[in-house]
Structure 1
């Protein structure tokens, strides 16, 4: 008969291997009911374990910035604000150090994981914008509480702090409709991450609420997520005498500003001929020409919310529930959106 492993206990108890590790090492971050269930299952299965008398304590939190390809998670003001929110909240919660580590999916994973294990941290904020569910397990094995930031996975029992992308995109399109636009296009990133897929859902839902018969697919333009690729792809689209709506909603500000420049270089005036609206409210959106109307995301607040939830786990103040905190963006009116041109 094969030896019972911690993974067997986790499966039988209905928890993650990381939770089992926390229980057996007498770590905080696990509710009392869950802790007792794990011990009970371990006894039933005959799993051998020992609990240390004095758990190691540390005042360090670890922020892991996961980069799968780097096309979305670049060093922009959006992610700088997220990280600043995490940093400020770390010290406000009484932790003396925030260690920031970048994890590159295309590089040696074992070597990077070994470096992360050397960081004696109490818990992890995982900036998961470019992650997929299968990428998470390697971090769960580090054996400390984890809170996801800017992504979530339905197959993972991990808390997350995210943007309400679907409602935010819906609100953006409805804003354009309320000032008179009925033909509203969509500048959609060709690099698919959950944020952009959810924003697509919001766009389609709002477009259909404006006109149930609208063929929204014809108003969707796929472009790259970077300044250069979005400009190049939009320019190629405009070169072919395309159908143009009276307004475009874009997946983010980078795409909106790049495509706005491509429109201007092809002789279109913004917003007199066509309006453009972004999402994120990065630093550059207020200084481009014209200043960009967009959806403001409370980025620093997202980072702070993730830290507070992580600290609750570390201090054992959470139960068995898994929460997904979704922050709602708000409209910032600037000059890139106007009423539709008169026919």
Structure 2
């Protein structure tokens, strides 16, 4: 590939390519970044590239690593709304700081070999790891390959590493208190059939809210479903049908996908939301405003998580920061239309 080819791909002049490669001023940073990315992807490396690499390092890349499994982080995780929104914010934070972001998806079964291959073929300056459902040993293995590491979506307090996660306990506690304020006492809990740090923390926060009013979730009002589908799930429908004479008046769902699935199942059964059962979710994905009724949920500050992750990583890369952090990002309850106060019609709803 020649310099003229680079210019055509970047839609700039040949002189702009020359300026980008020499590291001299005269073009915008966006243009320079675009040109250098094309140069790197094409393998074109003229002698002048030494200067460009020195001043506008082509190795200014961060890697986003997702370890897929059969439970929470699916192979096409990037299509799941929560992860899709989070990745968008991370990409934007990298862009404004002059870094490229590479995506790598590996299965947990071949983690060590995959990490070795990734960092050998294209070494990154640092890694943002989607730590959902990973063990301490798996996270430590990745840290050995790349010590500039920030882990998202989980928090292991005993590891000397950087973790950034939403305040799951607080969010679920907020949801629980809201349902109690609406007068609900017979509250059910819809949990994921795959467990992880976030879900376990949410369960703890929700039960804490109920305990303050000396309430608990009845054993019959615990439900278990898949957290990665948004269709009505047979297991939930079957159990709700069996409880027709003893329905809870409200349900807390461990994530929005579960909440949307639950609303669809209840609609199929002719059980009205929120008139018969109020529903609260967690994550505030975009789909929560599309479902009918719009979902009351816990908002997660995905943009703040992304900003902190990239900033911490760059502090390590550019300034040699060695202090490790465990950051909890507080949540906010978003009240929409899927919840209503308990009324005198509660007994009528239980008799449906």
Q: TM-score range by the shorter chain?
A: 0.7 to 0.9
Q: Is the partner of 1:130 in helix, strand or coil?
A: coil
1:67 alignment counterpart: 68
For residues 156 and 311 of structure 1, do their structure 2 counterparts lie closer, same or farther at Cα, with a shift above 3 Å needed? same
Residue in structure 2 matched with residue 197 of structure 1 by the alignment = 200
Residue 89 of structure 1 corresponds to 93
Which residue in the other structure is 1:336 paired with?
338
CA distance in 2 between counterparts of 1:241 and 1:326 reads 38
Q: Distance in 1 between matches of 2:322 and 2:141?
A: 24
For residue 305 of structure 2, what is the aligned residue in structure 1? 302
Which structure 1 residue ranges, 5 or more long, are not aligned?
Answer: 1-53
> Residues 70 and 102 of structure 1: is their aligned pair in 2 closer, same or farther, counting only changes over 3 Å?
farther
Mark the CA change 1:165 to 1:79 in structure 2 (over 3 Å): closer, same or farther: same
In structure 1, distance between residues paired with 2:81 and 2:217: 35
Give the structure with the larger helix fraction.
2
Cross-structure match for 1:28: none
Sort the Cα spacing of 1:70 and 1:116 in 2 relative to 1 into closer, same or farther, 3 A.
farther
- Higher radius of gyration, 1 or 2: 2
3-state SS in 2 of match to 1:222: strand
Distance in 1 between residues matched to 2:277 and 2:334, nearest whole Å: 18
Q: Give how far 1:327 is off.
A: 1.1
8 Å CA contact retained: 2:150, 2:309: yes
Task: Trace 1:201-212 onto structure 2 (pairs within 5 A).
Answer: 201-212=204-215
2:318 aligned partner? 315
Distance 1:182 1:108 in 2: 46
| Whole-Å separation in 1 of the counterparts to 2:106 and 2:73 | 15
Shift of 1:70: 5.1
For the aligned residues, what is the CA RMSD?
Answer: 2.1
Q: TM-score, normalised by structure 2?
A: 0.76
> Which SS does the other structure have where 1:337 is aligned?
coil
Measured in 1, the distance between the counterparts of 2:243 and 2:163 equals 44
> Superposed, which structure 2 residues align to 1:92-103 within 5 Å?
92-95=96-99, 97-103=100-106
CA, structure 1 residues 238+331, in 2 after alignment: closer, same or farther (shift >3 Å)? Answer: same
- 3-state SS of the aligned residue for 2:178? helix
Corresponding residue of 2:126: 123
- Residue matched to 2:9: none
CA distance in 1, matches of 2:257, 2:290: 13
Deviation of the 1:115 alpha carbon: 2.5
Q: CA deviation at 1:190?
A: 1.2
- How far residue 67 of structure 1 moved from its aligned partner, in angstroms, is 1.2
Q: Per-residue deviation at 1:72?
A: 4.2
SS of residue matched to 2:142? helix
Within 1, Cα distance between the matches of 2:165 and 2:120?
Answer: 26
Could you tell me how far 1:141 is from its partner in structure 2? 2.0
TM-aligned CA deviation for residue 302 of structure 1: 1.0
Q: CA deviation at 1:164?
A: 0.3
Report if the CA contact (8 A) 2:192-2:225 is conserved.
yes
Deviation for aligned residue 1:318: 2.8
Number of residue equivalences: 285
